[in-house]
Amino acid sequence: MIIRIASRSILRNARRSTATIAAVAVGAVAMLSFSAFKNQTMIGLQTAIVERAGHLTIFREGYNDFGTANPAAYDIAGYTELLGTLRTDPELSPMINVATPVVALGGIASNFALDTSKTFAGQGILPSDRDKMQRWNEYGLSGGAFQTTGLRDDDSNRGVVGSGLARMLGFCEALGGQDCPRSAGHSAATDADKRDFTALVGSDRELNRTVSTTPRIDLLASTAGGAPNIVQMDIGQATKIGAKELDDSFVRMHIGLAQRLLYGNAEPRATSIDVQLHHTADLPAAIDRIKTLNRTGKLGLEVRDFAELTPSYGQIVGMYTAIFAFISIVIGIVVLFSIVNTMSMTVMERINEIGTSRALGFRRSRIGMQFLAEGVLLGTVGATAGVAIAVALVTTINGLGLSWMPPGATVPTPFRLLLAGQEASVFATWLALVLISVVATVLPAMRAARMTTVDSLRHV
């Protein structure tokens, strides 16, 4: 009977009820579509990071704090055994998609022929593993197309450079770059400089200075032992990288080449191991397990997840969360006052009904319940309608096949709002609006319950 009276009272005042329900529904739609947009952005960002670098990276303990200054002390010597452990561990192996060694290194890249050189930040990788990682697409965002490394496992002399580095070293045209600028500079190097460099270069036994059709650069770095070392790298292609600084210094090569440069003839090592899981949800479990293996095996390793290694990810998550919180609070307040207003008016209009019910023997609590039910019904109908509209809206927008450039991206991705898989947060939004309607109704309902029977009956 409570529900019957509540729903009929709502219908009786159709215009006011519609306005209130609409306010709640619009609030729900706004919250859910922003949340869907946020989800899409975060998951797009996550996909981009995970495709490139995996979910987590294993380092020698201290590498992140000191290692880059002294790689020899902070690299992973028995990395093939470690990979074997990871890949065969009964707990880990089902979670892991790819576990692959990485050699990080830096030095000077030069084009001897043009007398140009530039510092580089490089990475040695295993091409097939990386290509497999690029295919990771847990959320179905990539739409089939994925970037390959352009390298092959069986060609350990080849690498890829940033388009900026290629331009600076004079390979822009050779690599088929568009809009290649003409160098306006003049050679600053003296013959003496050139001779010094040649002397170094000459120390590399593989050095072959005949003109080749493949663009080729020399990479100079100090070995783990501290001696200068040089290798030659064939440039497979130049890739455009969003951040200019990185574009101007990026070199990615076959891990074999990087190991030759960094370790010479000594036993090859890795500076880290990137691990990509099948599912992001497994991340905490995977990290736990690796930490356990590390502890029990006294391996002296440390593990970091992608969010720690990509601080901008956390910042963007934080920013979106803050905006979402702000939007939610504003909507919450609007919905709250809308329902408070409607329910206060309803109570004032039904004072006589309250007096009558009290005279018939209904307790105060029951009178309060009656109005509480009515307010919550308004909120629930509004929130439910809002969820339905939001789902329809998101489905429609996704069906339009729009594309856009997410923050930090270099290529357009499909514009898709993500509500699927977010059932928990959709439900949380719905529940929050229903709870707001409870809060909004409590005061008017209490006022109704406290009324004096005789006074309410006198009221016309």
Partner 1 sequence: MTDGAPGNAVVLQSVSREYVEGDVAVVALKDVSMTIPRGRFSMLVGPSGSGKTTLLNIIGCIDQQTSGHVEVCGHDIKALSDNRVADFRAENIGFIFQGFNLLPVLTAQENVEYALLLLGFSASERQSRARAMLSRVGLGDHLHHRPNQLSGGQKQRVAIARALAKDPEIVLADEPTANLDSETGRQIIDLMRTMQREFHTSFIFSTHDPQLISEADETYRIRDGIVVERSVKELVA
Residues engaged in binding partner 1 (CB under 8 A): 1, 4-5, 8-9, 12, 352-353, 355-364, 453-454, 457, 460
Q: Which residues of 66-94 are buried (b: 16+ CB within 10 A; e: fewer)?
A: ebeeebbebbbeebeebbebbeebeebee
Taking the C-alpha atoms of residue 125 and residue 203, their distance in angstroms, rounded to an integer, is 25
* Shortest distance in whole angstroms from residue 16 CB to partner 1: 15
Instruction: Provide the minimum distance between the beta carbon of 360 and partner 1 in the complex, in angstroms, as a whole number.
Output: 5
Whichever of 295 and 450 has its CB closer to partner 1, that residue is 450
Residue tagged 């190991």 (tokens): 259
**14-53 and 364-399 helices cross at what angle (nearest 10)?**
50
Q: How far is the CB of 444 from partner 1 (least distance, A)?
A: 18
Question: How far is residue 59's CA from residue 70's CA, in Å, rounded to a whole number?
Answer: 13
CB 270 within 8 A of CB 75: yes
Q: How far is the CB of 94 from partner 1 (least distance, A)?
A: 56
Q: Is the CB of 142 or the CB of 357 nearer to partner 1?
A: 357
Shortest spacing between CB 347 and partner 1, in angstroms: 15
Least distance (Å) from partner 1 to the CB of residue 434?
A: 23
**In the complex with partner 1, which residue's Cβ is closer, 132 or 364?**
364
Least separation in angstroms between residue 12's CB and partner 1 is 6
Judged by CB, which is closer to partner 1: 354, or 433? Answer: 354
Residue 359: CB atoms within 10 Å: 12
Looking at beta carbons only, is 209 or 458 nearer to partner 1?
458
Q: How far is the CB of 452 from partner 1 (least distance, A)?
A: 8
Cα–Cα distance measured from residue 335 to residue 84, given in angstroms and rounded to the nearest whole number: 57
Residue whose CB is less far from partner 1, 4 or 182: 4
Q: Give the rounded distance of the alpha carbon of 14 from its chain centre.
A: 45
CB of 362 to partner 1, least distance (A): 7
Cα 373 from Cα 371, distance rounded (Å): 5
Residue 275's closest CA among 314, 310, 306, 298? 306
Toward partner 1, which CB reaches closer, 4 or 186? 4
Residue 90: strand pairing partners: none
Q: Which is nearer to partner 1, 221 or 449 (CB)?
A: 449
Strand 56-60, strand 216-222: pairing: unpaired
CB of 13 to partner 1, least distance (A): 10
CB of 414 to partner 1, least distance (A): 50
For residue 214, give Cα distances in angstroms to 102, 199, 211, 252, 254.
25, 24, 9, 16, 16
Q: Between 295 and 366, whose beta carbon lies closer to partner 1? A: 366
Q: Which is nearer to partner 1, 204 or 353 (CB)?
A: 353
Q: Are 86 and 69 in contact (CB under 8 A)?
A: no
Residue 349, amino acid: E
C-beta separation of 305 from 287 below 8 A: yes
Distances 108 to 47, 170, 263, 448 between C-alpha atoms, Å: 32, 15, 16, 80
Do residues 263 and 223 make contact, with C-beta atoms less than 8 angstroms apart? Answer: yes
Q: Tell whether the torsion through CA atoms of 176, 181, 182 and 183 is positive or negative.
A: negative
- Residues 418-433 as b/e (b if ≥16 CB within 10 A, e otherwise) read bbbebeebbeebbebb
Residue 66: CB partners within 8 Å, gap ≥ 6? 73, 74
Query: Which CB sits closer to partner 1, 209 or 366?
Result: 366
